[in-house]
Amino acid sequence: MRIFLTLLAVIITGIILLPAGLHLAGLHPKNTHEFDFNFDGKRALIIATNHGVLNKPGELGGKKTGVFLSELSVPYFHFSEAGMDVDIASIEGGEIPVEPIPFFIKTPEDKAFESNNLSVSKLKNSLKISNLDFKDYSIIFIAGGWGAAYDLGFSEDLGIKISDAYFNSDALIGGICHGVLGFIRAKKPNGDFLISGKRMTGVTDKQIEELGIAFTPMHPEIELKKAGVEFESNTRFRDIFANHTVVDEEKRFITSQNQNGGHDVSFAILQILENQ
């Protein structure tokens, strides 16, 4: 009994200390910015994936996946707390699936989001992008997650709407992790890639390899480079602990490398909006 209780105490202590250890290593860092913005009357749009299965080519089944919730929940609360009306959309509309993750790596924003009836309803009943005018929004932000590799970069409609917002409004356009795949179909009037020559980041090939998901149909680092982006990133002993946020020279595209950048990318976007 004494040995059992000792082992149980060790396990419980490990579970309690694990989130702190992961934070210290770089996973889901705590917010270090002073968010003090007031954008009452302005609107933000967050876009995420409809794809919920991590399947290999030719497979119909697989592990559950979707949006990595902190890549949506953290910006959602920062934009909302700044007084903005925040809509959530997807390619097809309807339910946005969520990547299952252990409770000990959920962010406070994840927990708040999942316990809020309004935010949960927005996620389960997301707006269809074809029904929206992106020019109505001051911020357009695309969340990632592994599901995004299956639909965002294949949507011609999303590309057209990103281009329309870029050329016909002052909207700031942000993305995180796999969410930046939502930019690759956007074109200039002459047919060139809209993002060609711009500094951007997204989840790295190294992180994808380390996580064992190289079978997904699109990888942000590869696709951004194909589109002519000047790709930037940071690295760690495992890139899941890295973090990097990039603002392009024009201050229209604001991107973050992976799930660790929610606070940084949100702050950068709101700060630019304040100075417009």
What is the tens place of the pLDDT at every residue in 130-174? 999 999 999 999 999 999 999 999 999 999 999 999 999 999 999
Contacts of 30 (CB under 8 A, 6+ apart): 23, 263
What is the longest distance spanned by two Cα atoms in the chain?
A: 75
Q: Go through the chain and tell me how many residues it has.
A: 276
Q: What is the mean pLDDT of residues 225-234?
A: 98
Better-predicted residue by pLDDT, 85 or 15:
85
pLDDT at 268: 98
pLDDT at 218 over 90: yes
Which residue do the tokens 């946005």 mark? 96
Asked whether the whole model's pTM tops 0.75, one would answer yes
Binning pLDDT at 50, 70 and 90, where does residue 4 land?
Answer: low
Whole-angstrom Cα distance, residue 23 to residue 41? 35
Domain 2-274 has CATH 3.40.50.1000: no
pLDDT at 52 over 90: yes
Strands 85-90 and 230-231, by their bridges, are unpaired
Whole-angstrom Cα distance, residue 175 to residue 61? 28
pLDDT at 59: 87
pLDDT at 26: 78
- Cα distances (Å, whole numbers) of residue 85 to 41, 42, 77, 124: 7, 6, 11, 18
Q: What is the mean pLDDT of residues 212-237?
A: 97
pLDDT at 15: 53
pLDDT at 105 over 90: no
Q: What is the mean pLDDT of residues 92-111?
A: 93
- Give the tens place of pLDDT for each residue, 7-48: 555 455 445 556 666 666 778 888 999 999 999 999 999 999
